[in-house]
Structures are given as structure tokens and as C-alpha cells.
């Protein structure tokens, strides 16, 4: 496209002039990254060329930068504008972690197939079932130049465990009873009982276990650290405009050689996802992390854009209040579950961009994903009516489903209710309320049925123990099955996860599917769009965002 040509012209022109000045033995002075233009239009393109040299924090001869594609990367985070902290220990919501993943590192991480591999840890062993020993990589530097050692790791976990600090993951990390530095590059962790999900909770996902810089935290205090974080990750925060955008420079001492590829990064916080698609089409953005389901056809037709889609890490369902009529009756719950034609449901709600599901664990966690058909989670109108006949309640019972009014969530509630009513002849109706009110009511078990979902949970333990164990904190409706409890407790202690843990989770989920405390509906796709002239994007089921942007180059 014409626009692209213009960009290349601008770049090569600048490179010529830059080489000329370098040949004269000059070192270019660096522009203030705060002045990076926000929009990419013909006018700002000329200014945009100066971004090639954007490298906050120090001077650098241009020769190192004057490589093809050394242009700043501009990415959009859509649907959210709220970021309250960039302190991993304090962070809770997705947009905060999207940024944290690029600013910090963790001991281990997931590869594209969701196998755990080393990040800051080179290797790890289990001397016994409750001890974990991590060997740290040497020569890792924080953004302030200091070296990352075992002391920073210990500090990170002590901070999370401190009640006064108030980390949202304090309870989740409670099984971890001690973290100590054996030497400068060895860390030993102890859990009270064998705790298999530990490795997942140390990955660079929504874990809060990203390693913070002890020196920087102590120097600036917790509050300030959340606004000017010092991590070891590929991106170094240079400016944060609340509710608008964040700017980053490449961390030149990043331990993975050659990363990040782009010299600078801007992340726009865009509330309206269709606007982000427009900006992508106009060339003002290089990467959009979420494409609304209604826009995918349009994005696929765009010549300059590569669209990418795969089942994500999520579970979408309709949760029952099993304490109140009519959902306190297992036959009524089964009748509802079997009255949903999930294939048609997926078509109607997200235009086919989901996998119909019969459990919570998504297929991306392949070792715990059960492919065997579960009768009560299959569409079967005859059996559904038979279950209804066995139930204490008739089709005339009054049911109000609490729905969320945003985007496809609205369709999700409507289609769900419509399918149930058509199959069973019931009189379900939907009442909409904003998503926070909805969540609050669901947490308080105030209502009858809530179509909702969990996203970005990475471990089967989070999907099943948290949601269905009688003590799980996400088990708002107090589902309790002693057999399920015991299987989940066993799975939690089984360190050989793939061979032995997986079958335990599958068995537990099968029992849950028979009790139907929730109607399993679908596992939606994660959709991304990136300009074709940008290389290095690797789509993963867990959204890597900040980390995913490191290998990307604007061509």
C-alpha cells in the first residue's frame, strides 16, 4: 500500500542521513521518548522517522541501530483502559499483566505449546516432593543496570506473602512456606505439602510472581514502584499516560540476545475495539491483541493485515445457584445442559469462533483435556425432556438468568435462554446488569443462573480446584462432592502431572459434568491481527502481549 511505501522512504532517507553523520564521527543525540508521535499519518511519518533513534536511558552510536526494520512498534490493547499498577505483586487484572509480561521475567515460562521451560531459571530439580531448587541464569540485568540474584527472588516471594503488602495472590501462594537463597544463583523453595501447580504459578502469566528488583523497591517504596517499575524484561517503561498509552524503550542489556527487536514500543489503551481495527487498517497500529468476533471477516479481507486465531485459555459457561430452586435439583440442571445445541450456540454467539465445550479445562492444556464424550454435556432433546420429567420442577417454574449487556456476552445469555426455552418449553428470561454488578451478585450467590466465564487461568487446578472443590474460592455456589474433592486434592499433590495428574483432573471433571453445577458452553478463540509487514509474531493460547512483542520487527 501507498502508506507503507511512504514509511520505507522515510526510513531509508533517515538512514542515509544518519550514516552520513555517523561517518563524520558524530553520535546522534536522542529524542525524548515522551515526544513520540501517537498517530501515524503522512505528517507524522516524517517525525516518526526520528523514532529510529529512540533509545531512552543512554546514548548509543547510530550504527548499531541502523539495521533494516529498526522502527518502533505500536501495539494496541483493546477493550480496557484501566491499569492501576505495574507492580507484579499488586497487579490483578489482565491489562496490568499484559504490560508486566514485557517488563519483567519469571523463574520459568510457557513455550508456545504450553510446556514449562526456563526463563530466569536455567534448570530446576525436586530433591524431594516438597522442595524445589532453581538454578538462576547468570548475567541478568535489571533496567537500572543492577544484576538479578537469588536475593531478588527471595525478596519477591517474601513480599507476596506479607499480609501488610496485600498481594491479591497471597492466598494462592500460601502453600509456599519458605523461599531461601542457597547462593547468589540458587533458590530453594519449600511447600507445606507436595504442590504440583507451583511451576505454573511461577510462569510469566497472570501469576504475580514476576521477579522484582529488591534495590529499586526499597529505594522508591511500593507505591512508586507500581508506577515506575524496574524489571529485567525486554521493555523498559519510559512514559505512562493513564487511560491513554504507555511508552517503552528496548532494554539493551536484556539477557536474550537480539531481543527486543524493535528499539521502542508504544502500547495504546483503546476502549473501543473497532477503532483499533480501523487504526490497524490505516497503518497507524502494527498489532491488535484482540479482534472482536464481529469484525473477523472484515479483518480477514484486509490486504495489509494477517489475522491469527486459536482456542484460547478460557471457559465460558452458565453457572447455576445450586442452593435455590429450581437448580437445586440435579435433574433440572441436566435437562438444561442437554437442551443446548453447542455447535449452533457457538455459531450464533461468536460466529463459530469457539470450541463447544463439555468441561472447564480448555484444550490448550492438552495433558488434562478430556476428549471422551460426556452425555450430560451433549445436546440431546429427548434425554433433556426425560430429565425434566424426573425433576421436582416443571417447565413453568420461574427462572431469571442474569446476563451481561456487553458485546457478545449479551448474545450468549439470550441464545442460552432461547435454546433452553425451545427445547424444554420453559419460561426462562434474561435480566441484564453491568458486568461488575453481575460478578458481585454471582460471588454473593445472589440469583439463579449466571452466564459468565473465566479467562487467563493457566492451570487445571485453577479451573477445577478453585471452581469446584468445596473450599475453592471461585466456587460461589458451594458445590460439594466428596469424591471430586478427594480427586482434586490428589491431583494437587501429584508432581508427575502429565502421566498421573492429567487423568485425575479428567476423572474429577467427568464427575462434575454428571452433577452439572454449571452448563459448559464453549472455549472461545483468541484472535489477533498484525500488519503483514511486521514479522516475528507468534500466537500462543495464553496471551503473552508484552513478551510476545519482543521478537516483533516492523518491516
Partner 1 sequence: MRVLTWLLLRAGSAAFMLLLGSLVVFLLMHAVPGDAALAALGDQASPDAIADFRRLHHLDDPLAMQFLAWLRGALRGDLGTSISLAGGFSTASLIAGSLPNTLFIGAYALLLALAISITAGSIAASRHGRVEDVLATSGAIVTISMPDFWLGYVLVLLFSLELGWFPAYGFTRPGESFLGALHSGFLPALAIAVPMAGIFSRMLRATLLETFRRAYVTSARVMGFGRAFVFWHYVFRNALIPYVTAIGLQARYLLGGVVVVERVFGVPGIGSVMVDGAFARDISVVQGCAVVFLLIVILVNLLVDLLCGLLDPRTAA
Nearer of residues 47 and 118 to partner 1, judged by Cβ:
47
- Angle formed at CA 73 by CA 67 and CA 75, multiple of 5 degrees: 165
Pick from 268, 294, 286, 347: which is nearest to 80 by CA? 268
Nearer of residues 94 and 477 to partner 1, judged by Cβ:
94
| Helix, coil or strand: residue 320 | strand
Residue with cell 473465566: 454
CB of 455 to partner 1, least distance (A): 7
CB of 67 to partner 1, least distance (A): 27
Q: What is the 3-state secondary structure (H, E, C) of 347-380?
A: HHHHCCCEEECCCCCCCCCHHHCCCCCCHHHCCC
CB of 242 to partner 1, least distance (A): 3
Strands ordered across the beta sheet of 186-191 = 121-128, 131-136, 186-191, 176-183
Nearer of residues 358 and 475 to partner 1, judged by Cβ:
475
CB atoms within 10 A of CB 405: 13
CB of 482 to partner 1, least distance (A): 23
CB of 338 to partner 1, least distance (A): 28
Nearer of residues 170 and 331 to partner 1, judged by Cβ:
170
Q: Where do contacts with partner 1 occur on this chain (CB under 8 A)?
A: 2-3, 35, 37-44, 81-85, 92-94, 163, 166-172, 206, 223-224, 226-227, 241-244, 268, 270-272, 274-276, 278-279, 281-282, 284-285, 433-434, 436-437, 439-441, 443, 454-455, 473-474
Percent helix / strand / coil, the chain, rounded to 5: 35, 20, 45
| Helix, coil or strand: residue 160 | helix
CA dihedral 75, 81, 86, 90 (to 10 degrees): -140
CB of 531 to partner 1, least distance (A): 13
| Helix, coil or strand: residue 420 | helix
Nearer of residues 310 and 443 to partner 1, judged by Cβ:
443
Q: What is the CB-side half-sphere exposure of residue 23 using CA atoms within 13 A?
A: 6
Nearer of residues 242 and 352 to partner 1, judged by Cβ:
242
CB–CB of 378/519 below 8 Å? no
CB of 177 to partner 1, least distance (A): 17
Pick from 77, 60, 453: which is nearest to 244 by CA? 77
φ/ψ region of 536 (left if φ > 0, alpha if ψ in -120 to 50, else beta) reads: left
Nearer of residues 111 and 446 to partner 1, judged by Cβ:
446
Nearer of residues 102 and 284 to partner 1, judged by Cβ:
284
Nearer of residues 393 and 442 to partner 1, judged by Cβ:
442
Nearer of residues 6 and 539 to partner 1, judged by Cβ:
6
CB of 434 to partner 1, least distance (A): 7
DSSP string, 243-269: TTEEEEEE-TT-SSTT---SSEEEEEE
| 353 alpha-carbon distance from chain centroid | 18
CB of 491 to partner 1, least distance (A): 20
Pick from 223, 215, 100: which is nearest to 156 by CA? 215
CB of 401 to partner 1, least distance (A): 18
Amino acid at each position: 500500500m501507498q502508506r507503507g511505501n511512504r514509511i520505507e522512504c522515510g526510513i531509508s532517507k533517515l538512514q542515509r542521513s544518519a550514516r552520513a553523520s555517523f561517518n563524520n564521527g558524530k553520535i546522534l543525540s536522542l529524542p525524548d521518548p515522551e515526544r513520540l508521535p501517537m498517530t501515524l499519518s503522512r505528517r507524522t511519518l516524517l517525525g516518526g522517522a526520528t523514532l529510529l533513534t529512540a533509545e531512552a536511558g543512554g546514548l548509543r552510536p547510530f550504527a548499531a541501530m541502523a539495521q533494516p526494520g529498526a522502527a518502533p512498534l505500536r501495539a494496541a490493547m483493546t477493550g480496557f483502559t484501566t491499569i492501576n499498577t505495574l507492580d507484579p505483586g499488586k497487579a490483578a487484572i489482565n491489562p496490568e499483566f499484559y504490560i508486566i509480561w514485557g517488563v519483567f521475567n519469571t523463574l520459568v515460562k510457557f513455550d508456545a505449546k504450553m510446556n514449562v521451560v526456563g526463563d530466569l531459571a536455567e534448570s530446576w530439580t525436586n530433591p524431594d516432593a516438597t522442595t524445589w531448587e532453581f538454578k538462576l541464569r547468570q548475567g541478568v540485568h535489571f533496567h537500572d543496570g543492577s544484576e538479578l540474584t537469588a536475593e531478588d527472588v527471595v525478596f519477591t516471594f517474601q513480599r507476596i506473602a506479607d499480609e501488610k503488602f496485600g498481594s491479591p495472590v497471597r492466598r494462592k501462594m500460601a502453600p509456599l512456606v519458605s523461599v531461601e537463597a542457597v547462593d547468589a544463583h540458587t533458590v530453594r523453595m519449600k511447600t507445606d505439602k507436595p504442590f504440583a501447580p507451583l511451576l505454573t504459578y511461577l510462569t510469566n502469566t497472570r501469576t504475580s510472581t514476576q521477579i522484582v528488583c529488591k534495590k529499586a523497591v526499597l529505594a522508591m517504596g511500593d507505591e512508586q514502584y507500581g508506577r515506575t517499575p524496574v524489571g529485567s524484561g525486554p521493555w523498559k517503561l519510559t512514559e505512562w499516560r493513564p487511560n491513554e498509552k504507555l511508552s517503552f524503550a528496548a532494554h539493551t542489556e536484556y539477557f536474550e540476545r537480539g531481543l527486543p527487536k524493535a528499539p521502542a514500543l508504544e502500547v495504546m489503551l483503546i476502549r473501543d475495539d473497532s477503532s483499533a481495527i480501523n487504526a490497524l487498517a490505516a497503518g497507524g497500529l502494527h498489532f491488535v491483541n484482540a479482534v472482536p468476533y464481529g469484525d473477523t471477516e472484515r479483518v480477514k479481507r484486509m490486504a495489509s493485515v494477517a489475522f491469527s486465531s486459536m482456542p484460547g485459555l478460557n471457559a465460558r459457561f452458565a453457572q447455576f445457584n445450586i442452593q435455590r430452586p429450581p437448580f437445586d435439583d440435579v435433574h433440572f440442571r441436566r435437562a438444561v445442559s442437554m437442551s443446548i445445541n453447542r455447535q449452533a450456540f457457538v455459531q450464533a454467539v461468536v460466529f463459530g469462533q469457539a470450541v463447544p465445550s463439555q468441561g472447564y479445562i480448555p484444550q490448550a492444556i492438552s495433558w488434562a483435556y478430556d476428549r471422551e464424550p460426556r452425555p450430560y454435556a451433549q445436546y440431546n432433546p429427548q434425554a433433556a425432556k426425560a430429565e425434566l420429567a424426573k425433576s421436582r420442577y416443571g417447565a413453568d417454574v420461574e427462572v431469571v438468568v442474569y446476563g451481561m449487556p456487553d458485546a457478545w456476552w449479551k448474545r450468549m445469555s439470550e441464545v442460552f435462554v432461547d435454546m433452553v426455552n425451545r427445547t424444554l418449553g420453559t419460561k426462562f428470561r434474561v435480566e441484564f446488569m453491568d458486568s461488575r454488578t453481575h460478578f458481585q451478585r454471582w460471588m454473593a450467590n445472589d440469583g439463579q443462573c449466571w452466564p459468565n466465564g473465566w479467562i487467563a487461568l493457566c492451570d487445571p487446578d485453577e479451573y477445577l480446584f478453585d471452581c469446584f472443590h468445596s473450599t475453592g474460592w471461585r466456587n460461589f455456589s458451594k458445590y460439594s462432592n466428596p469424591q471430586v474433592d478427594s480427586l482434586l486434592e490428589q491431583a494437587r499433590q501429584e508432581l508427575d502431572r502429565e502421566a498421573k495428574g492429567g487423568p485425575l483432573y479428567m476423572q474429577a471433571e467427568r464427575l462434575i459434568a454428571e452433577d452439572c453445577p454449571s452448563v459448559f458452553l464453549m472455549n472461545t478463540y483468541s484472535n489477533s491481527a498484525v500488519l503483514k509487514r511486521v514479522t516475528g509474531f507468534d500466537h500462543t493460547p495464553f496471551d503473552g502481549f508484552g513478551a510476545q512483542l519482543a521478537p516483533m520487527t516492523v518491516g
